[in-house]
Amino acid sequence: MIAKLLPPPPALDDRCALFLDVDGTLLDFAPHPDAARVPDGLREVLAALHRRLDGALALVSGRPVDGLDTLFHPLRLPAAGLHGLELRSGEDGTRAPPVPDALSDVLDRARAFAAPRTGTVVEDKGS
């Protein structure tokens, strides 16, 4: 089967907003989340798009918002982190709630499960 070519996206105008997925879309997947790298020039392109859209651009990720800030530093964009548990539309935002005590046992069990399985990573995202 021959894949059909997609039409080009519409031109950006004042009615547009962009919600951009980070890992696997803006950034290549990495063997470990800490190994992900922002390609040269991407921060500048995102900053220009953010200005062009009068702030209507946000990063969307399973990472915490603080992790996005670290990764894209010094750029600080609106963001949805932890799959929407954390949101930031401007300077302020919502943070993840405190970690429930019950998750401690889940994390311990996940680490015990992963330990003998080479290449398995347990990523503690807090809440």
Could you read off the pLDDT of 72-119 as tens digits, one per residue?
A: 999 999 999 999 999 998 777 788 888 888 888 999 999 999 999 998
Round to whole Å and give the CA distance between 34 and 59. 18
DSSP 8-state class, residue 54: T
State pLDDT tens for residues 25-44: 999 998 888 899 999 999 99
| Superfamily (CATH) of domain 18-95 | HAD superfamily/HAD-like (3.40.50.1000)
| Cβ atoms < 10 Å from Cβ of 26 | 19
What amino acid positions are annotated as catalytic residues? 21
Cβ atoms of 111 and 122 closer than 8 Å = yes
Residue ranges of domains in the chain: 18-95, 97-126
Phi, psi of 93 (to 5 degrees): -165, 180
Three-state DSSP class for residue 119 = coil
pTM here is: 0.80
